[in-house]
Structure 1
Amino acid sequence: MPDFTLLAGVDQGLYIVVFVLALVFAFRAGRLAARPPGPAMASSARWTFSLGCLTLLAAVAQWLQTWLMFDSFGWLYINDKLLGFLPLILAPAIAVALVSLPRLWRLGVRVLPFPVRTDASDEEQAAWRMAAAAPETIVPIHALSLGAFLAAALQFVSPAVTLDTGALIGAWGTLIAGTSALWIGQSWRQQRFGRPGPLHKAHPLIRFLRFAILLLLVWGGIATWFNQALEASRLPDRMNMAEPSAGGQENRHAHAANAQEQHASGVSRGQSVSVTELTGPRSEIPDRRFTLTAQKTQLSLPSGKSVEAWTYNGQYPGPELRMREGELIEVVLENKDIPEGVTIHWHGLNVPNAEDGVAGATQDAVLPGEKHVYRFVAKQTGTYWYHSHQQSSVQVKKGLFGPLVIESANEAKSPKQPSLDLTLVHHKLNGGGGFTLSGKQGVTKEQAAPGTPVRLRLINADSSPAYFQLLGSPYQVAAIDGNDVHDPNLIANQTLLIAAGGRYDITFTMPQRPVFLSQSRSDGGRGLLLSPDGTGEAPPPHPDLPVFDPAGYGSPVPLPFDRAARFDRDFRFVFDVQLGFYDGRLDGLWAINGKVFPDTPMLMVQEGDLVKMTFVNRSYMDHPMHLHGHHMLVLSRNGTATTGSPWWTDTLNVAPGETYEVAFRADNPGLWMDHCHNLTHARVGMTMHLVYEGVTTPFLMGRQTRNQPE
């Protein structure tokens, strides 16, 4: 399959190329009538004709590129182009090919009812100028440049135009109205150029004033539009995320495309329940208690640099929380001095909704001097992590996160053999230089006796994909996002790509030689080195190792549902990048179905629904889609069904050009975020919400509240 990023880059570039060529073509065509009639005008017509042919060739290349994109990635990757952008170029391009170019050709080869002479009469010169200024010749060319501009603008500003009828109608209205105005203006211009006698140009001062007035009008219009768009993009000062009107858009709901008649829900129709009622056990005595204090901490890095971090309990990363399956856990969050407030979200744990730790959705942010108590039963096993879900793109980057491990209850009943179980967190601290592994930079060395069972729990707490390589021993991928893999194969010489927010557990038996976990596929200067004596040198990683594919790994087991199931809700989400305004600033926006939060789709479900989601990534970056409160079963990738062990995940990395089908059972009522865990993408609007019918929240978010969940 061709490289999507390369094809998409060529596609974007062709929109610019066609627009620039069409603009130059229109400029030369518009100046043609002002050339001296005779050989000079004929020569200019030939050059203009050649430029027109080049412009049309670029437009044909656009169509070929669109076909190649369709052939490689499917209809969803070209529907907006085919139905929205390209027709804006196609219609005037046909007119140019059938009308304008033949007329330019006749001008260029001097096919007129009189010979070309330097001493041509005034009437003959006027006839030349009349032909060169004819609206039939010039207006299709100008319309082509206008259409190319509109297509390029929609491509970069509103890529999901076919999902926005208003934008499409506006573009066609502009093209039709603009073409009509150009025709009227060019008709007047032809009359002026068709008068016998010398062509009189306006005084330079008059021309300058005309240009200045036009420039002021254009600039004033742009400035007015810019300010209005800037103000319109500002997020509400106060909004409730459970209310459909929060985004102020009628189309905010992402209702199922083929939803069946719905069945009764745990939340009865016509009744409502607040997220504050969806709590963990509140009265029982907890099996384990933890206290996490959010505070500012000065960290001294190995480089000698000192940096201020925001931490839990003064540690970077925060303390590892270990517990056993079935235990009732109580965590007390205290905020010492983080002025913006903090929360704790249990990433990957399907806790009751009130314990999810999302500011403005399930609780208020905890301000300095305040406390908040979380309670939940550890029903799952595996590797997870926790982090603040208040201003996440800032607070996680500054260090407000930590690992969490839930051990199986069966392990406590069986004799425990000596083993090495390490939790390793990949992260890049704001202002701290390069990447760290559990807070350490460079190569960390540990001693491991030969024959020791080793389990490495890899957590990616950064906003970009993490690449790991285990060199020196074959190994198994024992779990993905806390979910055990059934009959994992023994593999070697592969690169592990872990989504932002994702986790892999890998296991192996320590050999007689050193084993190196490289934190990169190109930089051997950071990672974990295990050796029998705790010394040795790290081998260099291999940049060309294939990437591990979980879609066919392990052995299959019976599934609770598959692609052939009858889904109660079926949602499709297309990811794009576009230039636009967000919360009062111009930015690159990561859009879902052409919208950014709070106008992104709201997923409405009922308890018990079987829900399918399709992710289509037409942008240039990975989007690790993280669904709170549930685990998704990956059904297919790029149209091919997954095989091997069931691939359950809570954070799915959707790379550029990839299409995934996933499904889950709606069995945890509440108001849940579903967002990109590249937290900078979530900050500029790549966030949705999954809402169970009947669920409400008393909490508000916005600049006039304490809550900024991102």
Structure 2
Amino acid sequence: MPDFEALAGVDQGLYLILLLLTLLPALGVKSLVFRPIGGAMASSARWTFCLTGLALLVSLGQWGSTWLLYESFGWLYIKDKLLGFLPLILLPAIVTAMVSIPRLWRLSTRHPIVVPFVAVQGMARASADEETAWRQEAAAPEMIVPIQALSLGAFLAATLQFILPSVTLQKEMLMIAWGVLLAGSSALWIWHSWRQQRYGQSGILHRSNLIVRFLQGTFVLLLLTACSVTWLKLERQSSLLPDQMSMTNHTTIDTGKMQASAVDHAQHASAATPIQTIRVTDLSGPQTGVPDRQFRLIAQKAKIHLPSGKVVEALTYNGQYPGPELRIKQGELIEVVLENKDIPEGVTIHWHGLNVPNAEDGVAGATQDAVLPGEKHRYRFVAQQSGTYWYHSHQQSAEQVKKGLLGAFVIEPATPTGSPAAPKLDLSLVHHKLGGGAGITLNGMDGLLKERVVPGTQVRLRLINADSFPATLQLQGTSFQVAAIDGNEIHEPNLIANQTLLLAAGGRYDVTFSMPKQSVFISQSKASNEHGLLLSPDGTGEAPVLHPDLPVFDPASYGSPQTLPFDLLTRYDRDFRLVFDVQLGFYNGQLDGLWTINGKVFPNTPMMMVKEGELVKMTFINRSYMDHPMHLHGHHMLVLSRNGIPTTGSPWWTDTLNVAPGETYEVAFRADNPGLWMDHCHNLNHAASGMTMHLLYEGVTSPFQVGHQTRNQPE
């Protein structure tokens, strides 16, 4: 399969090349009439012919690249191109090839006029007629307008490609583009018909002098500039986020594509039982009873001293980076009291990957207000799951997580596994890039960690990627098993070695092995052997050199299959399709590259509406140039297929799925945890610039607000 980024880059590059190649003949063809009759005009026509032909070849190349995208990645990767962009080029290209190209060829091969020194009246009249014929041909709107319309179509197609790539999802913009093309072509036809009448005669042409043409060009440029500035101001103004709004007030409500039987059932149920409304604050954990575990986390500023000698101004829980590891047993009632000592923007705690009751989810403006300095907030819930999770602030998370407001959260099984007599090492490893120039750290260390481990010890390393980008990790020195993904145990995991582990931003892998008699080293694949964790029988030794090119571990075919609660053949109650693109535009008044969902950014992204108990399917399509680790709060998704190929190994349950460029995933879950849940890219900078949507259960409301005039900025 071709590399998506390379193929899509070539495809987009062809739009720019075509725009340039059509612009040159579009400007040159209208000046042919002013060239001297004979060889000079024919020569200019030949150059215009060649440039126009080259532009038509590039347009054919666009169709070729579109076909390759279709063959390699499917219909959804070319839908907007085929229905939106390419027709704007196709129609003018066909007319240009059939009408303009033959006329240019005739003009370029026409024999020059030879005027005799002594001309009789009849011969002079014949020369004037031939000169008129040349100029009529050179000024013909049938030759000029298709070429200029092709240039206009190329401009519109390139604009839509880079400004509005999901054009078929916004049909009003497509209609505007076609309106501009048709109106522009009509205006050009009228203009060039008048020019043909004016200049299509024999004799000396009286072309406007240079100063007049300069003033005309300046006027057109100023007019275009004024229109562009006005449009940019309007776009900037419309991009400003509301000063205050509810997270439930998305402008786009998506109910999913329901099957006919599901529609009938939903309508019948709706008529029989009116929807009961409930506030997210009522969807809480147990508010009474003595907790089994209590923790107190104080959010505060602190200076972090790293082993390398770097000192970083950080945001911390309890003055630590990462925050203290919270370790509990499955089934225990946990109580965590969050205090904010001195972080003026406010803080929260989100339990990443844990399906807590909605009120305990820790999202500012959705499930609670941000905790300001001097305030406290209490979280209470029963740990129903076991596995590896982590916690972090969900207030200005792109900044606060970057600065250190995060920590590991481990829930051990209620019933211990393995031999109780065997020695064990259960260690969490938090991969994170700390802001302030600190770089990549592992458990807050930016050097080589060494630990003594007795051979034969059963080792479980809980790998947590708390960074906003995928982490590629290598484990050298032993074979191992990937025992769990995102807190979900793998059924009968295979023993593997010499594979790179790709962790999504926010994702977790548990790897297990029996400690050998030699050293074991784990580190980021691109790091040197001076960074990472070295386990050895005596706690010393040198880390091995990492392999640069190892195959990437594939969870889609790992482990043994089990009976699934639903699969690709299941009839789903809701079916959501989510297309990820990148486009140039404004977000909250700032011009930037926007990472969009179905062509929109928050709060215009889809609000996915569901009812409790429904089966929900989602399809992720990444047509952009970066990974998007999609994190659904409050639920775990079963991965059904990747790039159209069903998963075959152990059931792959995840809460943070890395969707790489050119990848398409189908996932499903049961809507069994009522509330208002974020579903966003866990590249937190993408989320902060609008790559956020929500899953809302019918009847659920939130009393909290987000916006500049509130205390809540969840991203």
Q: State the TM-score, normalized to the length of structure 2.
A: 0.96
1:122–1:198 Cα contact (<8 Å) kept: no
Please name the residue that 2:253 is paired with: 252
After TM superposition, the structure 1 = structure 2 runs for residues 202-601 of structure 1, keeping only pairs within 5 Å, are 202-242=208-248, 246-247=249-250, 249=251, 251-258=252-259, 260-261=262-263, 262=265, 269-411=274-416, 415=420, 417-521=422-526, 523-601=528-606
Q: 2-side partners of 1:116 and 1:296: how far apart?
A: 89
What is the CA distance between 1:306 and its match in structure 2?
Answer: 1.8
Residue by residue over 1:260-288, the C-alpha shift from the partner in whole angstroms, topping out at 9 and shown as x without a partner, is 134559x9633200000000000111111
* Structure 1 unmatched runs, 5+: none
Amino acid at match of 1:20: L
Q: 1-side partners of 2:219 and 2:514: how far apart?
A: 78
The yes-or-no answer on 1:666 pairing with 2:663 is: no
Please name the residue that 1:159 is paired with: 165
2:310–2:438 Cα contact (<8 Å) kept: no
Amino acid at match of 1:159: P
2:253–2:609 Cα contact (<8 Å) kept: no
Q: 2-side partners of 1:679 and 1:413: how far apart?
A: 38
Please name the residue that 1:191 is paired with: 197
Residue by residue over 1:538-589, the C-alpha shift from the partner in whole angstroms, topping out at 9 and shown as x without a partner, is 1111121100000111111111111111111111111111111111111101
Please name the residue that 1:201 is paired with: 207
Q: Identify the range of structure 1 (198-207 vs 352-361) with the bigger mean alpha-carbon deviation.
A: 198-207
What is the CA distance between 1:24 and its match in structure 2?
Answer: 1.1
What is the CA distance between 1:117 and its match in structure 2?
Answer: 5.0
Residue by residue over 1:94-129, the C-alpha shift from the partner in whole angstroms, topping out at 9 and shown as x without a partner, is 010000010000000006xx8455988555434322
Q: Cα gap change, 1:31/1:524 in structure 2, threshold over 3 Å: closer, same or farther?
A: farther
Q: Identify the range of structure 1 (186-195 vs 388-397) with the bigger mean alpha-carbon deviation.
A: 186-195
Q: 2-side partners of 1:699 and 1:558: how far apart?
A: 41
2:258–2:572 Cα contact (<8 Å) kept: no
What is the CA distance between 1:432 and its match in structure 2?
Answer: 3.0
What is the CA distance between 1:237 and its match in structure 2?
Answer: 1.1
2:258–2:573 Cα contact (<8 Å) kept: no
Q: Cα gap change, 1:116/1:328 in structure 2, threshold over 3 Å: closer, same or farther?
A: farther
What is the CA distance between 1:216 and its match in structure 2?
Answer: 1.2
2:622–2:659 Cα contact (<8 Å) kept: yes
Q: Cα gap change, 1:439/1:146 in structure 2, threshold over 3 Å: closer, same or farther?
A: same
Please name the residue that 1:35 is paired with: 35
After TM superposition, the structure 1 = structure 2 runs for residues 34-183 of structure 1, keeping only pairs within 5 Å, are 34-110=34-110, 115=113, 121=127, 123-183=129-189
Q: Cα gap change, 1:523/1:34 in structure 2, threshold over 3 Å: closer, same or farther?
A: farther
Q: 2-side partners of 1:505 and 1:268: how far apart?
A: 45
Query: The residue matched to 1:411 in structure 2 has which SS?
Result: coil
What is the CA distance between 1:519 and its match in structure 2?
Answer: 1.7
What is the CA distance between 1:28 and its match in structure 2?
Answer: 1.6
Q: Identify the range of structure 1 (412-421 vs 380-389) with the bigger mean alpha-carbon deviation.
A: 412-421
Query: The residue matched to 1:326 in structure 2 has which SS?
Result: coil
Query: The residue matched to 2:596 in structure 1 has which SS?
Result: strand
Q: Cα gap change, 1:326/1:40 in structure 2, threshold over 3 Å: closer, same or farther?
A: same
Q: 1-side partners of 2:298 and 2:173: how far apart?
A: 49
Q: Cα gap change, 1:567/1:416 in structure 2, threshold over 3 Å: closer, same or farther?
A: farther
Q: 2-side partners of 1:105 and 1:412: how far apart?
A: 82
Query: The residue matched to 2:560 in structure 1 has which SS?
Result: coil
> Would you say how many aligned residue pairs link Structure 1 and Structure 2?
702
Find 1:695's aligned residue among 692, 700, 710: 700
1:359–1:365 Cα contact (<8 Å) kept: yes
2:351–2:390 Cα contact (<8 Å) kept: yes
Amino acid at match of 1:35: R
Amino acid at match of 1:60: L
What is the CA distance between 1:308 and its match in structure 2?
Answer: 0.6
Q: 1-side partners of 2:500 and 2:3: how far apart?
A: 19
Q: 2-side partners of 1:179 and 1:252: how far apart?
A: 38
Please name the residue that 1:21 is paired with: 21
1:478–1:485 Cα contact (<8 Å) kept: yes
* Structure 2 unmatched runs, 5+: 118-123
Residue by residue over 1:308-362, the C-alpha shift from the partner in whole angstroms, topping out at 9 and shown as x without a partner, is 1011111111100000001000000111111111110000000000000001100
Amino acid at match of 1:557: Q
Please name the residue that 1:641 is paired with: 646
Q: Cα gap change, 1:555/1:124 in structure 2, threshold over 3 Å: closer, same or farther?
A: same
1:520–1:526 Cα contact (<8 Å) kept: no
What is the CA distance between 1:302 and its match in structure 2?
Answer: 2.8
Q: Cα gap change, 1:39/1:629 in structure 2, threshold over 3 Å: closer, same or farther?
A: same
Amino acid at match of 1:176: L
Amino acid at match of 1:212: T
Query: The residue matched to 2:398 in structure 1 has which SS?
Result: helix
Residue by residue over 1:388-416, the C-alpha shift from the partner in whole angstroms, topping out at 9 and shown as x without a partner, is 00111111001111000000111299836
Q: Percent identity between the aligned chains?
A: 69
The yes-or-no answer on 1:611 pairing with 2:616 is: yes
2:131–2:201 Cα contact (<8 Å) kept: no
Q: Identify the range of structure 1 (550-559 vs 500-509) with the bigger mean alpha-carbon deviation.
A: 550-559
Q: Cα gap change, 1:268/1:334 in structure 2, threshold over 3 Å: closer, same or farther?
A: farther
Q: 2-side partners of 1:455 and 1:562: how far apart?
A: 31
Q: 2-side partners of 1:54 and 1:142: how far apart?
A: 15
2:255–2:574 Cα contact (<8 Å) kept: no
Amino acid at match of 1:446: E
Q: Cα gap change, 1:33/1:450 in structure 2, threshold over 3 Å: closer, same or farther?
A: same
Q: Cα gap change, 1:39/1:254 in structure 2, threshold over 3 Å: closer, same or farther?
A: farther
2:308–2:447 Cα contact (<8 Å) kept: no
Query: The residue matched to 1:398 in structure 2 has which SS?
Result: coil
What is the CA distance between 1:252 and its match in structure 2?
Answer: 3.4
2:245–2:707 Cα contact (<8 Å) kept: yes
1:38–1:118 Cα contact (<8 Å) kept: no
What is the CA distance between 1:213 and its match in structure 2?
Answer: 1.4
Q: 1-side partners of 2:686 and 2:234: how far apart?
A: 24
Amino acid at match of 2:194: W
What is the CA distance between 1:524 and its match in structure 2?
Answer: 3.0
Amino acid at match of 1:24: L
Q: Cα gap change, 1:558/1:166 in structure 2, threshold over 3 Å: closer, same or farther?
A: same
Q: Cα gap change, 1:399/1:416 in structure 2, threshold over 3 Å: closer, same or farther?
A: farther
1:384–1:404 Cα contact (<8 Å) kept: yes
Q: State the TM-score, normalized to the length of structure 1.
A: 0.97
2:302–2:315 Cα contact (<8 Å) kept: yes
Amino acid at match of 1:485: I
1:574–1:615 Cα contact (<8 Å) kept: yes
Q: 1-side partners of 2:405 and 2:273: how far apart?
A: 38
Query: The residue matched to 1:188 in structure 2 has which SS?
Result: helix
Amino acid at match of 1:224: T
Q: Identify the range of structure 1 (663-672 vs 182-191) with the bigger mean alpha-carbon deviation.
A: 182-191
Q: 2-side partners of 1:521 and 1:93: how far apart?
A: 48
Residue by residue over 1:207-241, the C-alpha shift from the partner in whole angstroms, topping out at 9 and shown as x without a partner, is 22212211111110000000001001111111111
Q: 2-side partners of 1:155 and 1:616: how far apart?
A: 17
Query: The residue matched to 1:252 in structure 2 has which SS?
Result: strand
Amino acid at match of 2:642: R
Query: The residue matched to 1:320 in structure 2 has which SS?
Result: strand
Amino acid at match of 2:227: G
Query: The residue matched to 1:130 in structure 2 has which SS?
Result: helix
